[in-house]
Amino acid sequence: MLTAEHKHFYDQNGYVIVKHVFGADEVAFYRDHYMRLRATGTYPGDDAGVDIGSADPLKRYPRMIHMHRWDDTSLNWMIDRRLNACMTGLLGREPYAVQTMLYFKPAGARGQALHQDNYYLRVQPGTCMAAWLALDSCDEANGCLQVVPGSHTWPILCTTQADTTRSFTSVTVPIPPGAETRPIIMDPGDVMFFNGSLVHGSFPNTTTDRFRRSLIGHYIQGDAEQVGRWYHPALRMDGTPLELDVSPGGMQCGVWVEQDGQPEIEVSGFVVVDSNAKE
Ligand SMILES: O=C(O)CCC(=O)C(=O)O
């Protein structure tokens, strides 16, 4: 599934898309599964609450987080052998699994301002990796991922205030003049793998009738010794937990704010140690 071309592209750009990792029937199953879960309950991590009458589409369909802790379908997906094979090929050894998320991103929803995942996970040494499965066709209209190619070689940047009318998180990172932000067009079943230092995010879903659902796993390099408290326990790719140290300063991946929420300026003094050790 993973080729030498994928690995080369990943090393150069900090991300790579592997096409059709999951079949149409599997994608349909995941869409139905999470839509049913969302419609029938509230779960740990529903920090913004669920309000089906809200004018904010993200309050009608808030993201789910850490589902693998209470949902076997999510756990099994997180440690799926195909994801493991791709990440092992990219990293040179098996990763550990630390987080699942489901983004519904319905029509009209805000995106998530540009950021670096290791700002939140604080993996040391090394960095984290995301596996981002498209459950819908993703394009610029419905708020596909946006990345800054090559930014995986950057340190973790200090954050600035984000535009909370366009982002459900309040912090972003400044992009140097001349750096390209590239839209990532994906088909359902494609998986994008990306490095924890890669600057990425998404713009609003400007459609009136399309979701942009995605199932996301976060992983850490198999030689990591520390990760932020929010991500414990880390799991081996056979699902068994392991003991890692707590990295200071870690936090939940992107903290929700209202559209008119007070800006929250966070400054990172965090330095990535050897983020390219495996590249
Ligand atoms: O799906 C998005 O819009 C953003 C996801 C993201 O930032 C992540 O998976 O780290």
Query: What angle is formed at CA 161 by the lines to CA 157 and CA 165, rounded to 5 degrees?
Result: 130
246-266 tens-digit pLDDT: 998 766 665 556 666 543 333
Q: Which of 127, 176, 159 is nearest to 254 (CA)?
A: 159
Relative to beta strand 15-18, strand 191-195 is antiparallel
Given a contact cutoff of 8 angstroms between Cβ atoms, the answer to whether 207 and 111 are in contact is: no
Q: Which of 132, 142, 191 to mutate to test the pocket of ligand 1 (most atoms within 8 A of CB)?
A: 132
Reported for 239-247, long-range contacts at CB under 8 A and 24+ positions apart, including other chains, are: 239/75, 239/79, 242/96, 244/96, 247/121, 247/122, 247/123, 247/124
One pLDDT digit (tens) per residue for the chain, 279 residues: 899 999 999 999 999 999 999 999 999 999 999 999 999 989 998 877 888 889 899 999 999 999 999 999 999 999 999 999 999 999 999 999 999 999 999 999 999 999 999 999 999 999 999 999 999 999 999 999 999 999 999 999 889 999 999 999 999 998 888 899 999 999 999 999 999 999 999 999 999 999 999 999 999 998 899 999 999 999 999 999 999 999 987 666 655 566 665 433 333 444 433 333 332
Q: What are phi and psi of 25, to 5 degrees?
A: -70, -40
Q: Whose CA is nearest to atom 7 of ligand 1?
A: 201
Give the CA dihedral 142, 113, 155, 265, nearest 10 degrees: -170
- Which amino acids bring their CB within 6 angstroms of ligand 1? 103, 111-112, 117, 130, 132, 145, 200-202, 214, 216, 253
- Amino acid letter, residue 106: P
Could you tell me the pTM of the whole model? 0.90
Contact residues for 132 (Cβ-Cβ < 8 A; gap 6+): 145, 191, 192, 193, 194, 214, 216
Q: Whose CA is nearest to atom 3 of ligand 1?
A: 202
Query: What angle is formed at CA 166 by the lines to CA 123 and CA 48, rounded to 5 degrees?
Result: 65
